[in-house]
Amino acid sequence: MTKHRHPEKIKKPYNPIKKKPVWIRSKIIDTQTFFQTKAVVNQNNLKTVCQEANCPNITECWSKKHATFMIMGDTCTRGCAFCDVKTGKPGELDPFEHIKISKAVKELNLNHVVITSVDRDDLDDGGAKHFKNVVLETKKQNPNTTIEVLTPDFLRKGDSYKKVLEANPDVFNHNIETVPSLYLTVRPGSRYFGSIKLLESVKNIKPNMFTKSGIMVGLGENKNEIIQVMDDLRTANVDFLTIGQYLQPSPKHHPLQRYYHPEEFKDLKNIALNKGFLLVASSPLTRSSYHADEDFKKLKVKRDEQLECQQLQ
């Protein structure tokens, strides 16, 4: 018998997937580089969120060697209604994962790498120590590579997130994902203000570390609620906001309410920039790790400009 990827969704209602509009199209690929990236991922026996979450950008990103590594296994202990990553009881942590990731980063010769993970509520520290070790080893073996972590919320794990900060990643990313009114249906295992608090605490502890968060639209939120999330993230001094279209992975996932037009993404971007984010990426195919390399360079430029302005005042 085949094991179900999402056992918690078996009894969920069947919601047919809406046809994609013309503007949601994956980009053309450089086939050779795509397969080189795939070979490095497979040979090192690694997991990527690009594959596990069935990301629409995989052809474009892997054609630029940009893969987002997913550590601590391929099985998540939460059951978010939007996510395609497998859920269930995860296995043991791989004690050699830090070596495998740092080797893959070297083989891909990356300037910037995004490292994310599944939620590991089964571990006392939510996997924070493992995260730290992976980042430290990757830095040690790749001193010129900048590192972005995209972490779980470490809910009910006390101060364990501070262990990740001890590794000094260049960017700390934690996605807020949706508006508070949808948390109970879309992200039932998480708490909106827990995620805001995490981002705020990171900034308080490491004021020079870039913080980043992202939301999906099309889940049933309204514009005022999105604007409220922007304000809450700015209150937490988040630097970089990503906004992308939710794509429903299967009929058992949270129903897609509507596709936003590219012009609506531009409008949201302008609103967010006016709220004071250093950088905003907002488009139908924006994902939190999409173009992370180029965006990191832009973030640094924006911060330098901001510092110059402050000195002139």
Tokens of 41: 């991922």
Choice between 61 and 202, CB closer to ligand SF4: 61
User: Among 28-36, 58-66, 225-233, 263-271, which window interacts with ligand SF4 (CB under 6 A)?
Assistant: 58-66
Output the smallest distance, CB 310 to ligand SF4, in A.
33
50 binds ligand SF4 (CB under 6 A): yes
CB 141 within 8 A of CB 106: yes
* Residue 189 vs residues 101, 153, 206, 222, 264: alpha-carbon distances, Å: 28, 10, 27, 22, 30
Choice between 192 and 240, CB closer to ligand SF4: 240
Count of residues of this chain found to bind ligand SF4 when the rule CB under 6 A is applied? 11
CB 262 within 8 A of CB 80: no
Q: What is the rounded distance in angstroms from the CA atom of residue 222 to the CA atom of residue 3?
A: 37
Choice between 66 and 120, CB closer to ligand SF4: 66
User: Among 10-18, 47-55, 199-207, 233-241, which window interacts with ligand SF4 (CB under 6 A)?
Assistant: 47-55
CB 89 within 8 A of CB 75: yes
Contact letters (x/-) for ligand SF4, 61-100, by CB under 6 A?
A: x----x-x--------------------------------
Output the smallest distance, CB 166 to ligand SF4, in A.
25
Choice between 164 and 281, CB closer to ligand SF4: 281
Choice between 102 and 283, CB closer to ligand SF4: 283
Contact letters (x/-) for ligand SF4, 144-163, by CB under 6 A?
A: --------------------
Q: Please, which residues have CB within 8 angstroms of residue 31's CB and are 6 or more apart in sequence? A: 63
Choice between 110 and 238, CB closer to ligand SF4: 110
Rule CB under 6 A: which of 260-299 touch ligand SF4?
287, 289-290
Q: What is the rounded distance in angstroms from the CA atom of residue 104 to the CA atom of residue 94?
A: 15
Output the smallest distance, CB 58 to ligand SF4, in A.
4
Characterize the bridge pairing of strands 210-217 and 69-71.
unpaired
SS3 content of the chain, % helix, strand, coil (to 5): 40, 10, 50
Question: Which of 49, 118, 229, 236 is in the footprint of ligand SF4 by CB under 6 A?
Answer: 49
Choice between 50 and 182, CB closer to ligand SF4: 50
Q: Please, which residues have CB within 8 angstroms of residue 274's CB and are 6 or more apart in sequence? A: none
Choice between 101 and 196, CB closer to ligand SF4: 101
DSSP symbol at 181: G
Q: What is the rounded distance in angstroms from the CA atom of residue 281 to the CA atom of residue 234?
A: 15
CB 298 within 8 A of CB 209: no
Q: Which residues bind ligand SF4 (CB under 6 A)?
A: 49-50, 55, 57-58, 61, 66, 68, 287, 289-290
